Amino acid sequence: MIEQSDSTPQQSIPSKAAWPVAVSFRQRPVQSRWVDFEWEAASVVFSNAASVPNGSLDVAQYDVAGETRWTYDGQSIDLHNSEGEGYWLNINSPAPCVFVMWRMEEGESVPKPAVTTVSYNEAGRMLDAGDKVDNVPMPPDMLEALVEYTAAHYTPEVRKKVRRNDPFKDGSFRSRDGSHAQRLGSGNGGGHG
């Protein structure tokens, strides 16, 4: 588990940031008589390309380790301090990842990334809405940057242990109707004789 420091937030890390990334897809073979493959997100890495508007996405085809990948460069991961809990949950998970929500437009041969995020909560909202969301392992340099951002802009809420519906509160058993029953072993006839 990654711990947060108790120091004051680092003002050098802005509360809103956009990380330029490249999003790659691949075709995964499937056993089906109707289709030969399914699309899935393959990787998300930091990029040096400038961000491009969603409407003007260009895809490049590459061979990576004997597999063909289709890559969209100039995508971005937008960070907002309001998503701090989602970032914290991600970096403290056993396998931090990047979430890619993508769509396959009619007439297109390759899927297009719509949203790329590192927030568990944002990914959950997209899944709840019925969107197609894949996750890929988060690269170490991105994890390090996310840990720094989260430490600067999010402090987990301290959870208090609460005993609810304690029937022995106030030293006696409280019945469902709210009346108090006598303690066992006290009063008339409470003991064995």
Higher pLDDT, 180 or 134: 134
Residue 179 lies in a domain: no
Nearest to 113 by CA among 51, 71, 79, 64: 71
Residue 8 lies in a domain: no
Residue 10 lies in a domain: no
Model confidence over 79-126: pLDDT tens digits? 999 999 999 999 999 999 999 999 988 888 889 999 999 999 999 999
CB of 120 within 8 A of CB of 88?
no
CB of 45 within 8 A of CB of 139?
yes
Residue 174 lies in a domain: no
Model confidence over 125-137: pLDDT tens digits? 999 999 999 999 9
**Distance of alpha carbon 154 from alpha carbon 179, whole angstroms:** 45
CB of 47 within 8 A of CB of 98?
no
Q: What pLDDT was estimated at residue 158?
A: 79
Residue 161 lies in a domain: no
Q: What pLDDT was estimated at residue 6?
A: 43
Residue 149 pLDDT class (50, 70, 90 cuts): very high
Residue 140 lies in a domain: yes
Residue 20 lies in a domain: yes
Model confidence over 7-64: pLDDT tens digits? 444 457 777 889 999 999 998 776 777 777 788 999 999 998 766 665 557 788 888 7
Q: 137 is in which domain, residue-wise? A: 16-153
Number of domains in the chain: 1
Q: What pLDDT was estimated at residue 104?
A: 87
**Distance of alpha carbon 94 from alpha carbon 84, whole angstroms:** 18
Higher pLDDT, 27 or 3: 27
Res. 4: pLDDT tops 70:
no
Model confidence over 66-81: pLDDT tens digits? 788 889 998 999 999 9
Backbone angles phi, psi at 134, to 5 degrees: -110, 155
Residue 38 lies in a domain: yes
